Structure 1
Amino acid sequence: MSLPRKLLALATLVPLALSLFSAPTQAAPATFTHPGVLVSRPQLDFVRAKVQAGAQPWKQAYDAMMSSSYASLSRSPKPRAIVECGSYSNPNIGCTDERQDAIAAYSLSLAWYITRDAKYATKAIEIMDAWSAVLKDHTNSNAPLQSAWSASSWPRAAEIIKHTYTGWPNSGRFGTMLRNVYLPEVINGSHSNGNWELSMTEAAIGIAVFLDDKTVYDKAVAKFRTRVPAYLYLTSDGALPKTAPGSGLDTRDKIVKYWQGQTTFVNGLSQETCRDFTHTGYGLAAIANFAETTRIQGQDLYPEIADRLREGLGFHAKYQMGAAVPSWLCGGSLKLGLGPITEVGYNHLHTRLGHTMSNTEALTLRQRPAGTNNLFVAWQTLTHAGNPQ
């Protein structure tokens, strides 16, 4: 994205009346909760106690994280001024390095909180400072999605370090990077496949919390409320799936094409089910992660999306576990690979609310300890398995 486009995008962050979508009411909390992106202090304390007690599955999940390259104290960050990412990361000029350094910062931040060993916080800060010192822009066709993935992980790490560790002089510079480099890429969303916009809204809400920015928070929530119903179908929607405002999907043929040619719609079907489960997993993860962050901030969006998320997780878990694919579904053939994405949604809907989710439960237990998809999902068994906080 060129500099003029970035300035134009920044201009849209002024009053919500200028937004493409406006929330019914202001959503932002009067005071933000910190740390408060995906994990809160009570959640982290729960995890720390479980790991210290050697309780499972948390200890196994912790050991998996600590044995990964992401938690290595010898890791050398690889920042670039310009990260160029084309479709499917081709070309890949800094794309993998950026995403993985962001996950590493988050992993090291979790290691710091659980162990209280300052060397992990110091390494996380080293990685975040390295990028905030040089990063200026993202370019090529995947720039918005690359920004979304990286900026979903960065605020999780930054929140933990800034609010539980003493001694991060460059935290303000890091916040400036989030605002000036990442936010313009993600705040206005996308009418590409739904996982793009859902990841973009997750990044935006995390940035909003770190920056204590109520305007950005409200805009992210407004977009989330329109995108989730356009991504996961419920029979109560009617004969056709809902569409996001401004999508241009104003005929049945256009909607069917957008839904990868699928013409039979059932509870839990995703806009990308017939594309592949991997991208569907990205969308499901971003939905749960977003709702988890807003819950921590005192605004529980789960009730608005609970049925869709529960049905979506269960529907895809069923086929990921090996159920026969009916001929009406994606022509009788599915591309599986849902990924380690179920823990956050399953924890809230099952552990906290008590919903029976047999398919999701079976897949979640089979995948433990959930690792990382090397994009923006990481260590959810550690942070969210059976976590009531």
Structure 2
Amino acid sequence: MSRRGLLKTAGGLTAALALGAGSAPTAADAAPAAFTHPGMLHNWGDINRAKVRVAAGNDPWLSGWNRLTANAHAQSTWTPRPQATVVRGGTGENYGLLYNDIAAAYQNALRWQVTGSEAHGRCAANILNSWSSTLTTVTGNADRFLAAGIYGWQLANAAELVRDHVAFDLAAFQEMMVSVFYPLNNQFLTGHNDACITNYWANWDLCTIASVMAIGILTEDAAKYDQAVTYFKSGAGNGSMAHAVPYLHTDADGYALGQYQESGRDQGHTVMGMGQLGAICEMAWNQGDDLYSYDSRRFMKAAQYVAKYNLGNDVPFTTYTWGSGQNCAQQSHTVVSASSRGQVRPVWAMLHYHYNRRLGLDDKYIAQMCFSVAPEGGGGDYGSTSGGYDQLGFGTLMYAK
């Protein structure tokens, strides 16, 4: 039974009785009968724990909180700069305006949730309202699909935190997500920009899956949520688990490792992938689906592999070959890439506190990476370029247990 099936005991009992002895529901993996809110990167338990621990002055939560309040984006005086058209890729790029405003909306929303600061709650609502009343188009070259994916799931997560704030126009925001972001998300997952199915790196699929899932949760659209979960499990592109983690290994100490699809490319994008996968799994977890454990915890094996290598250790590597372009021209990686090795991104706390603290598993390399980069910051703490904003961050504050 899925985690959600265990949680929904009343509904499960009713369904079992209706089906009769020896029968089982055929939609065991369908979207929840009732969506949980807040139910994306953070649930009420996360928020309440942060409230209590920060108020008590306990570490590591207090250190995470101080990292948040020191960020320029987390100030209630932030002024949004909404655009009718966001461009990523090609000429006229302006997408930096969007990712900076997303970071500000999310960080102000966190401050409102953790301390009840009305100024921060209204700031977050104002940022999101300004975009939902202005934005009509996300465009550019193929990178428009990255923008629709990354900023889609991040916007939805910021909105989820203030969905009940009196100043937030939830309906208008939902409409923007469905009319501006979802069509691009769906177009990419179903057509991959008319390229060979393996042409695009795993992260392109993953951020898109995350956006579809987040929009599904925000709008309580079961079909969209199911689309994301199904693609994660069995999609044709590089974002489905078997393709995102194509090879499994075991190191000399007996730890199971999973070679990530982008490991031969560079480590910046590889660590980014851990963040995108983590976002998908955490959102699903908060809706009752345990994707963290899917396919014998294939994701955990990948995170162990990526963490071990970026801590400076050797890892095994199997030659990875894929088809590129429109004609599926063959390309190969024969070694793990040392490019941007050791790059710090705020993705590890979420993974450590799930696998080690929720499940009690030995996550040696994930744990070492988690504590080597703690306390985690967020957008604005890791450089000014887009890579520093690929994750919303602040995992030490929100996930420490």
TM-score, L = length of structure 2: 0.78
* Inter-partner Cα distance in structure 1 for 2:296 and 2:360: 12
| 1:155 aligned partner | 156
| 1:229 aligned partner | 242
Q: State whether structure 2 residue 371 is matched by structure 1 residue 381.
A: no
* Inter-partner Cα distance in structure 1 for 2:65 and 2:44: 17
* Inter-partner Cα distance in structure 2 for 1:360 and 1:118: 36
Larger deviation, residues 266-275 vs 325-334: 325-334
Describe the SS at the equivalent of 1:225. helix
Q: Percent identity?
A: 25
Q: State whether structure 2 residue 146 is matched by structure 1 residue 145.
A: yes
> Aligned AA for 1:206?
A
> Aligned AA for 2:180?
V
Describe the SS at the equivalent of 2:86. strand
> Aligned AA for 1:274?
G
For residue 81 of structure 1, the aligned residue among 75, 79, 84 is 84
* Inter-partner Cα distance in structure 1 for 2:318 and 2:225: 40
* Inter-partner Cα distance in structure 1 for 2:389 and 2:296: 27
> How many residue pairs get matched?
330
For residue 70 of structure 1, the aligned residue among 43, 66, 73 is 73
> Aligned AA for 2:305?
F
What runs of 5+ residues in structure 1 fail to find an aligned partner? 1-22, 237-265
* Inter-partner Cα distance in structure 2 for 1:376 and 1:83: 19
Task: Give a deviation string over 1:136-169, Cα, whole Å, max 9, x none.
Answer: 1111121111111111211112111113x3342x
User: Does the 8 Å CA contact 2:126/2:167 hold for their aligned counterparts?
Assistant: no
Alpha-carbon offset, residue 305 of structure 1: 4.7
* Inter-partner Cα distance in structure 2 for 1:56 and 1:332: 36
Alpha-carbon offset, residue 91 of structure 1: 4.2
Across the aligned residues of Structure 1 and Structure 2, the Cα RMSD in angstroms comes to 2.1
Describe the SS at the equivalent of 1:59. helix
Task: Give a deviation string over 1:5-51, Cα, whole Å, max 9, x none.
Answer: xxxxxxxxxxxxxxxxxx97552000000011110111110111111
Task: Give a deviation string over 1:67-92, Cα, whole Å, max 9, x none.
Answer: 11210222111111111111xxx546
Alpha-carbon offset, residue 223 of structure 1: 0.7
* Inter-partner Cα distance in structure 2 for 1:185 and 1:283: 20
> Aligned AA for 2:264?
C
* Inter-partner Cα distance in structure 2 for 1:377 and 1:282: 12
> Aligned AA for 2:117?
D
Alpha-carbon offset, residue 350 of structure 1: 0.8
Closer, same or farther: CA 123–333 of 1 in aligned 2, 3 Å: closer
Alpha-carbon offset, residue 345 of structure 1: 1.8
User: Does the 8 Å CA contact 1:268/1:314 hold for their aligned counterparts?
Assistant: yes
* Inter-partner Cα distance in structure 1 for 2:167 and 2:138: 29
Task: Give a deviation string over 1:93-112, Cα, whole Å, max 9, x none.
Answer: 22111112112111111100
| 1:291 aligned partner | 281
* Inter-partner Cα distance in structure 1 for 2:95 and 2:149: 12
Larger deviation, residues 375-384 vs 77-86: 375-384
> Aligned AA for 2:243?
A
User: Does the 8 Å CA contact 2:267/2:337 hold for their aligned counterparts?
Assistant: no
Describe the SS at the equivalent of 1:93. coil
User: Does the 8 Å CA contact 2:84/2:136 hold for their aligned counterparts?
Assistant: yes
For residue 216 of structure 1, the aligned residue among 202, 224, 231 is 224
Alpha-carbon offset, residue 235 of structure 1: 3.5
* Inter-partner Cα distance in structure 2 for 1:135 and 1:149: 16
User: Does the 8 Å CA contact 1:320/1:338 hold for their aligned counterparts?
Assistant: no
* Inter-partner Cα distance in structure 1 for 2:78 and 2:49: 28
* Inter-partner Cα distance in structure 1 for 2:92 and 2:372: 33
Q: State whether structure 2 residue 31 is matched by structure 1 residue 28.
A: yes
What runs of 5+ residues in structure 2 fail to find an aligned partner? 1-25, 235-239, 250-255, 320-333, 379-387
Alpha-carbon offset, residue 324 of structure 1: 4.3
> Aligned AA for 2:185?
V
* Inter-partner Cα distance in structure 2 for 1:287 and 1:332: 20
> Aligned AA for 1:229?
A
| 2:48 aligned partner | 45
Alpha-carbon offset, residue 267 of structure 1: 3.5
Describe the SS at the equivalent of 2:312. coil
| 1:114 aligned partner | 114
* Inter-partner Cα distance in structure 2 for 1:313 and 1:294: 18
Closer, same or farther: CA 223–368 of 1 in aligned 2, 3 Å: same
Q: State whether structure 2 residue 262 is matched by structure 1 residue 272.
A: yes
Alpha-carbon offset, residue 346 of structure 1: 1.7
* Inter-partner Cα distance in structure 1 for 2:336 and 2:127: 46
Q: State whether structure 2 residue 304 is matched by structure 1 residue 314.
A: yes
